[in-house]
Amino acid sequence: MSGRRLPGLLLATGQFLPVSDIHRLARTSSVARLVMDADSEILDMGRKVRRATAAQRRTILARYTSCMVDGCPLPAHLCQIDHIDNWSDGGATDLDRLGPTCQFHNRDRYRRPERYRLYRAGKDRWAFAYLGPRPTRRT
């Protein structure tokens, strides 16, 4: 029997799989990194999913009291969980890269990123300073 015909071993179950199944899995699967806390709750999801998990949301609500844009009074529990690095730009759904923003600031930050500056507001907190519109050049 040649090496190409040997079956694959599915380590999780100890089950042997035909080579065709191994090839199909390799073509159709992706690798995901999950980081869990001591209670087995998922904290980091990488790029596998866009939306924050319930455990991530609970942790974020414990860290923040309001929208993470300076001066915005909307309480965190009424905010959306926002990717600090926009998801569409490759941002990860990892606890350290998520925070609460109100709907307005979530959209405005996406549309006008030049108006915001990210900074660390504590060991496990981020904030955005609102810089406002850039001055227009007079000709």
Tell me the chain's radius of gyration from C-alpha atoms: 21
Token duo for residue 121:
């507001």
Tokens 């071993």 belong to which residue? 9
CB of 91 to Zn ion, least distance (A): 18
Tokens 């890269």 belong to which residue? 97
Query: Interface mask (CB under 5 A) for Zn ion, residues 98-127, using x and -?
Result: ----x--x----------------------
With contacts defined by CB under 5 A, name the span among 51-59, 69-77, 107-115, 130-138 that binds Zn ion.
69-77
Query: Interface mask (CB under 5 A) for Zn ion, residues 27-66, using x and -?
Result: ----------------------------------------
Q: Under 8 Å CB-to-CB from 96, ≥6 apart: which residues?
A: 44, 124
Contact call for residue 68 and Zn ion (CB under 5 A): no
Cβ atoms of 111 and 104 closer than 8 Å: no
Q: Which residues sit at the interface with Zn ion, rule CB under 5 A?
A: 67, 69, 72, 102, 105
